[in-house]
Structure 1
Amino acid sequence: MSNPVFSNSNVFGEPRRTGRGGTATAPQQAPQAQYGAYGAQAADAASLQNMYDAPAATPVDTKRLTYTDVIMKTAGLFALLVVAAAASWAVYDTMPLLWIGGMIVGLVLGLVNAFKKNPSPVLITLYAGAQGLFLGGISAWYNTIDPGIVGQAVLATLCVFAAALGLFSSGKVRVTPKFTRFLLIAMVGYLLFSLVNAVLLWTNVLSGWGLREGGFGIAIGIIAVILATMSLMVDFDSIKRGVEGGAPAKFAWSAAFGLMVTLIWLYLEILRLLAIFRE
């Protein structure tokens, strides 16, 4: 899996296998252990009829994960992110260190949340706020270079998200083991490239966009956007697995956090790609 939020989770991860390839399941009790030797005879007919007539329990009744939970949590976190980003943008000239602090805090909280087995609503909410401060500041910086580029990047991110969700929902793109293996290898390669480029820039060996200059930089940017889009589809598949597997409702926070991580990455890649392309 590409997103550690999902790949490190027993809820959203791939089902584990056991024996000769069979899926591991909980052991079943013998009928005698479940009901007793005379359980069926002792059952009251009226009680059985009431149970039969009662409406089926919904995921809400059983406190299981639903798509509505994920949508609501995701919308709430992004609303907070937008508010924090607007505030950071407004004070960009007078408090330039605010968005840098948001970047550092967001990175730390992102790592903590990504590897927690149980979601922490407080830490995830703080992450959304910190990332909002970071995105507001860096977006304001890009806007000083090329006014109007931020709105285009936001619109492009929403379009890519909608396209990825549509393709996944239609079944035209399936998340297979081969799909995830390719994505993992490609993302490791892209990470190594990004680290090398960052070191060359920090040591002043290169300037500007570093290895991302010109046509090669545009090609790398397009590849990064494709990888982020593929990662979104893997996230959708993980959430689907969690809902269909009856995961506890609290993991809606984990799902929302995972989507936020990928969407932020997608937005930053599109923003940088547009800036390089315009140069």
Structure 2
Amino acid sequence: MRSNNPVLTSLPGARGQSGYGYQGGYQGGQLGSVQSGVASSAGFERPMTVDDVVLKTGVTLGVIVLAAAANFGIALSGNYGLAMMLTLVGAIGGFITVLVHSFGRKFGSRAVTLTYAVFEGLFVGGFSLAVTGWTVGGADAGALVFQAILGSLGVFLGMLFVYKTGAIRVTPRFNRVLTGAIFGVAILALGNLLLAVFSPLNPLRDGGMLSIIFGVVCIVLAALSFLQDFDLADRLVRTGAPEKMAWGVALGLAVTVVWLYTEILRLLSIANRD
């Protein structure tokens, strides 16, 4: 089974590799059953646990928050131009880091995950400043950021509850539909970006009704993506994947959290302007 999350597609077996190196394997894109046996020539690797996923995801999100706070501080100290430059660097750097992880041969690199966290934190900090109008006297800017964080946490916990109760089952059909929907949204976003660059039009991000609908769709898709990410993490744990793979799961969850946060914050800022 594979996730539509781009950073969760470089798992062993997704490209015909022979397994985890600890026990069991990931063959033909499917998580194989755990097989007791001999550790690989690389040596014994402790199997991943739920605690590993929680800890590494927490560390990754913590680094994002720290980097965002640093960019906040730079802007509020009067260096708004530098903060916006770091925001652009963060956006590009985060995108490149995800590509490196997605097309790399190894899943679960701590260095790649933490590098992504730093870049994405810079982006999130600058994005929050720009969208809320914090530096131009936005009295409600802090409240908007807090509400977006609270909303993201609520969606995360809500989808975890949905997954645990089995209210929505992650099936091959679910994966295909969700992947197609996200692919479609990505094409629309790219088309809108090109339109905004080469014309005065920006229909998906101008605060109009179409922009609001697009934002709601993105929030729903991000929420559903959590189900796939939870399912993949659950299967990796149950099949005895190496502990280091928890870093890959943490990266995937962080990508979804950031996507969700930015869309919620953008919609809140539109509502606040109205």
Same fold by TM-score greater than 0.5:
yes
Query: Where does residue 67 of structure 2 map in the other structure?
Result: 84
How far apart, in 2, do the equivalents of 1:268 and 1:111 lie? 20
CA contact (8 A) 1:149 1:275 kept: yes
CA contact (8 A) 2:14 2:28 kept: no
Of 99-108 and 238-247, the range deviating more from structure 2 = 99-108
SS of the residue corresponding to residue 46 of structure 2 reads coil
Q: Give the alignment of 1:188-207 within 5 angstroms.
A: 188-207=183-202
CA contact (8 A) 1:103 1:130 kept: yes
Change beyond 3 A, Cα 1:214–1:177: same
2:149 is aligned with 1:154: yes
Change beyond 3 A, Cα 1:17–1:202: closer
Change beyond 3 A, Cα 1:90–1:11: farther
How far apart, in 1, do the equivalents of 2:69 and 2:205 lie? 31
How far apart, in 2, do the equivalents of 1:24 and 1:251 lie? 16
How far apart, in 1, do the equivalents of 2:222 and 2:10 lie? 19
CA contact (8 A) 1:99 1:134 kept: yes
| Stretches of structure 2 lacking an aligned partner (at least 5 in a row) | 16-24, 38-43
CA contact (8 A) 1:228 1:262 kept: yes
Query: Where does residue 104 of structure 1 map in the other structure?
Result: 92
TM-fit CA distance, 1:215: 2.3
SS of the residue corresponding to residue 91 of structure 1 reads helix
2:65 is aligned with 1:65: no
TM-score, L = length of structure 1: 0.79
TM-fit CA distance, 1:192: 1.2
Change beyond 3 A, Cα 1:100–1:246: same
How far apart, in 2, do the equivalents of 1:2 and 1:174 lie? 16
Q: Once the two structures are aligned, what percentage of the paired residues are identical?
A: 34
Length, aligned pairs only:
244
CA contact (8 A) 1:98 1:133 kept: yes
RMSD: 2.9
Query: Where does residue 115 of structure 1 map in the other structure?
Result: 103
- The AA in structure 2 aligned to 1:269 is E
**Deviations 1:158-184, CA, capped at 9 Å, x for gaps:** 100010001101111110111111101
Query: Where does residue 9 of structure 2 map in the other structure?
Result: 7
Q: 2:158 aligns with which of 151, 154, 163?
A: 163
Of 83-92 and 113-122, the range deviating more from structure 2 = 113-122
TM-fit CA distance, 1:197: 1.1
How far apart, in 2, do the equivalents of 1:198 and 1:245 lie? 41
| Stretches of structure 1 lacking an aligned partner (at least 5 in a row) | 30-60
How far apart, in 2, do the equivalents of 1:170 and 1:27 lie? 28
TM-fit CA distance, 1:229: 0.6
How far apart, in 1, do the equivalents of 2:266 and 2:170 lie? 27
**Deviations 1:221-278, CA, capped at 9 Å, x for gaps:** 1111010011111000011111111101110111111111111111111112222334
CA contact (8 A) 1:200 1:210 kept: no
Of 111-120 and 245-254, the range deviating more from structure 2 = 111-120
Query: Where does residue 220 of structure 2 map in the other structure?
Result: 226
